Chain A
Amino acid sequence: MPKANCSTVKRDKRFQMKRILVIGYGNPGRLDDGLGPALAEKISTLNLPNVSVDSDYQLNVEDAAQVAEHDLVILADASTDAEPPFTFTPLEGEKGGLSFSSHSVSAPQLLGMVEELFGKQPEAWVLAIRGYDFNEFGERLSAKAGQNLEAAVEFLKKRLQ
């Protein structure tokens, strides 16, 4: 699987002139689980051309409609086990149902729904930012997670600008 090395990433020509969507998701009230929304907020302030930014607590079915309207989507989430500071990996759709009584969908399920419901196959990537503290309530990032966030923002900025 191709993984990005943030120190060597250069502007990616494939990302030019595409309708790009960045969704950062997670719960900012659960410490490092807020990495996704924090990234979305920072990317949003850059006002990058052709880039739409959204954030939410979790992915859900209605995101499929939004993803279907873009050529390229980047889903940013916190990760407990990604290689620090982050990994950037291509995503393939998964055609499965929601779990027993789940009110959210996984990133692969979302992409599967985009194809199944809207007949679209946008290019999709997962930006998994390494976090460390998840099991308490609190609206703050750990110091290391904050550093990883900055690295992820710089990486995306170079790719998307």
Chain B
Amino acid sequence: MSAKKIIIEPVTRVEGHGKVTILLDEQQQVTQARLHIVEFRGFERFIQGRPYWEIPVLVQRLCGICPVSHHLAAAKAMDGIIGVDQLTPTAEKMRRLMHYGQMFQSHALHFFHLCSPDLLFGFDADVAIRNVVGVARKHPELAVQGVMMRKYGQEIIKATAGKKIHGTGAIPGGINKNLSIAERDELLKDIDQMIEWSRAALKIAKDYTFEHLEELKDFGSFESNHVSLVRKDGAMDLYHGDLRAITADGETIFDHLDYQDYFKYIAEEVRPWSYMKFPFIKSIGPEDGWYRVGPLSRINACDFIDTPEAEEARKEFMAVTDGKPNNLTMAYHWTRMIEELHSAEKIRDLLNDPDLQGTDLVVKGERREESVGLIEAPRGTLFHHYKVDENDQVTMANLIVSTTNNNTPMNLAVEGVARKYLSGTEITEGLLNHVEVAIRAYDPCLSCATHALGKMPLEIELRDAEGELLDRKAR
């Protein structure tokens, strides 16, 4: 037996699998494309009965990919449970630093190691080349930058959450540590380099979009509503704010909603072919009320960004559509890199803020029975909603994760690509490539939307009007 064949196969921790079914009519035209995700709702039941103070740590088990986002969303909800509406400056800034570190490392991973091969080699390039090793060979500096940016973000998480795994930094009502001078100085050493690399990555994403603008307008793109948190003054705020929803033209659907009332404005629809729910804006209804979340929606929805370089980049982005929302699916990459630069600027500003060395870490209030925590996670708005009884035990938990919010848009993106690239009744490599690129634009994290075993292959099925299988391909 060769050492190369070592296989470790438990592996419940990672992702489910992306299965796409393309349905044809009798004229062999695409009628619908469905992205199937097997959602495992057991986690919400698992939480029930646990004491509320355990939840910010417990929810990190939900996802090995963005545990910090769940940690912070749950901590925000538990702030409400103990009656705290305003943290101390040190606590809020420590949480923000943790969050920007998470955003920075997550966006870096996606851009350099998942998306850049598509942009650098083209969607039709052989998958044997169109991967991170291909990038390493042709653009070694980029591949190493991606690793080092990811590592930097993880170091911020470690310094703020206490450790990479089972971080305990955020607790109900505050934070359990500040940032020492030594930790701050260590992180400051590399921040200028991180900002410089972020600028360069942003330029790659921007230049690519400009160069391929006409092609991308027709690549899995569609008009949609957009939902995001915004600050009171309309600024982008990835950690906290009010809910804003706009139409594809930028008209306001709702604005400055207190997210404690999200369930009055957003509902989730169940469809028989999918275990994952389909959220929608109640006032518009399930047919047209679906929306997008994530970097594209955040940039579209906010009025400005409060860091100078990212704000300049936002203006340049919005100028492409004359200030109206941009609805290109592939524009997610450009906006993700605007957020990467914004996160780096925020990290720099926070590291230079003496409040991070403060010692007033926790506040208390009057106990409440119910609370919601929202945060703009790397992939979009993340909802945590809990009820806690008089014995301090959680009696209800409802989580709407970012990937679930983008459920309908991902299906539409795949459908658009299928209509354009499917020819006949055979799944070609070209179709597989383009479907893959369209889904990847949303950076789906199926591990918290699903809990299927194993890795995450992409499988595509083609079925005729009677539901008979015509072709199947997997990667």
Contact = CB atoms under 8 A, between A and B. Distances in A.
B131 A117 contact: no
A89 B64 CA distance: 25
Nearest to A66: B151
Given A28-B166, A61-B147, A79-B10, A90 B3 contact: yes
Interface residues of A, number: 58
A56 B10 contact: no
A100 B117 contact: no
Given A29-B62, A97-B133, 12 more contacts: A29-B60, A60-B109, A62-B148, A78-B10, A98-B113, A100-B18, A100-B436, A103-B65, A107-B6, A117-B140, A117-B143, A131-B10
Interface stretch (A7-15, A30-38, A149-157): A30-38
A128 B165 contact: no
A21 to B, nearest CB: 14
B164 A56 contact: yes
A147 to B, nearest CB: 17
B99 to A, nearest CB: 18
Interface of A: 1, 26-30, 32-33, 37, 54-58, 60-62, 64-66, 77-82, 89-92, 94-104, 106-108, 112-113, 116-118, 126, 128, 131, 134-139
A132 to B, nearest CB: 10
7 contacts: A37-B165, A58-B65, A62-B151, A65-B147, A77-B10, A97-B130, A101-B440
A92 B4 CA distance: 6
Contacts, number: 173
Interface in B358-384: none
Contact of A81 (B9, B166, B436): B9
Interface of B: 1-4, 6, 8-15, 18, 42-43, 46, 58, 60-62, 64-65, 67, 105, 109-110, 113-114, 117, 127, 130-134, 136-137, 140, 143-144, 146-148, 150-151, 154, 164-166, 436, 439-440, 443-447, 453, 455-458, 475
A58 B134 CA distance: 23
A17 B154 CA distance: 29
